[in-house]
Amino acid sequence: MTALLVAAGTSLADGGVTVLSRLALMLRFHTGGLPCDTGSWHPVSVMPDSPDLSSDPPVADPARPQVPAADQTLRILSFLARQRGPAPARAIATALGIPRSTVYHLLTTLQEHQFVVHLPEERRWGLGIAAFELAGGYSRQEPLARLGRPVLADLVDRAGESAHLAVMHGRDVLYIVEERAPRRPALVTDVGVRLPAHLTATGRAMLAALPREQVRALFPDAAAFADRTGRGPRRPGELREVLREVRDRGYAIEDGEVTLGMRSIGAVVRDHTGWPAAAVALTWSASAGSPDAEISAALSAAARAAADELERRIGRSRPV
């Protein structure tokens, strides 16, 4: 180091600055900030010091999305799907915490691909035909039935009774999965069968989770109530009382209202928005040997556990 400084001084005395320039570069690139008296300084090196490759790579923050644009786009679509009608871009940006300029850019791209439509007179944005096609694809692929089938098979193994999975279809329930327990009687809940929702355990579980206004719209008067065995609610007031009991109890029951001599317990399955997407039910013979209270307690716990598992599988636990 001393020799270099002497050389630099000699060069300056001769009126040159070349050596000083080279010395500055050498000090910058070769020392790596080391003291001048360190033994690790190598003036013959012509490359910058290598970084320390032994250190661990930075750990990604799990709370931050790996692809922010994709995350923001999906959040916008999910937000629009939860609204009662089209929404202004400003409301979308405020609700999701996304810069308004970014929201406009993403909405424009979604519009180009027909996932959203713009209503210029109202200055609002709504879901487009491509989003509707996604919903149709969801129905065709039957993911709810596919996800529910192993859950119900496990439920039958544990409970020893037949189980089924149903969805709302107007005032009826539509059965999409049935798992029959060994040595149990055949039921009327075959896949594809529709039954009045107000009479079934699955229907009552889902009706109790719907807004009261929607229940009133489905069952406005006595003419809306079908009958199978002479049992069950026949007026809106009677149905309100049945659904109140379901909410208080946490599960639904029916006793001979679908088939005389058979009883069912049902638990609602909610989607990520809290909407009743389906219901799980267990059905058994009323002539079973164990006391009714004992059977009901065991089967209600099993049905609710299966409903919780199906909710987890369809993604209710994921943030919106």
What's the pLDDT tens digit per position in 71-105?
A: 999 999 999 998 989 999 999 999 999 999 999 99
20 and 12 Cβ atoms separated by less than 8 Å: yes
Instruction: Please tell me the total count of domains within the chain.
Output: 3
∠159-164-168 over CA atoms, to 5°?
140
Helices 100-112 and 89-96 cross at an angle (nearest 10°) of 120
Of the residues 85, 108, 133, the one at which a domain ends: 133
User: Does any domain span residue 108?
Assistant: yes
- Do 11 and 115 reside in the same domain of the chain? no
Model pTM above 0.75 = no
Distance CA 199, CA 231 (A): 8
E strands along the chain, which residues?
116-119, 124-127, 162-169, 172-179, 194-196, 252-255, 262-270, 276-285
Alpha helices in 83-128 (DSSP H): 89-96, 100-112
Rg of the chain on CA atoms, in Å? 34
The one-letter amino acid code at 83 reads: Q
Find the CATH number of the domain harbouring 232: 3.30.450.40
What are the angstrom distances between the C-alpha of 189 and each of 2, 61, 186, 298?
Answer: 95, 48, 9, 22
What are the angstrom distances between the C-alpha of 224 and each of 48, 59, 170, 187, 221?
Answer: 83, 60, 11, 25, 6
- Do 117 and 150 reside in the same domain of the chain? no
User: Does any domain span residue 297?
Assistant: yes
User: Does any domain span residue 158?
Assistant: yes
Distance CA 252, CA 261 (A): 17
- Do 184 and 249 reside in the same domain of the chain? yes
Q: Which range of residues forms the domain containing residue 229?
A: 142-314
Query: For 56-71, how does the pLDDT look when each residue is reduced to its tens digit (9 = 90+)?
Result: 555 556 668 899 999 9
Structure tokens at 233: 């609610």
Question: Is a pLDDT exceeding 70 seen at residue 275?
Answer: yes
Give the chain's mean pLDDT.
82
**Residues of the chain with pLDDT > 90: what percent?**
61
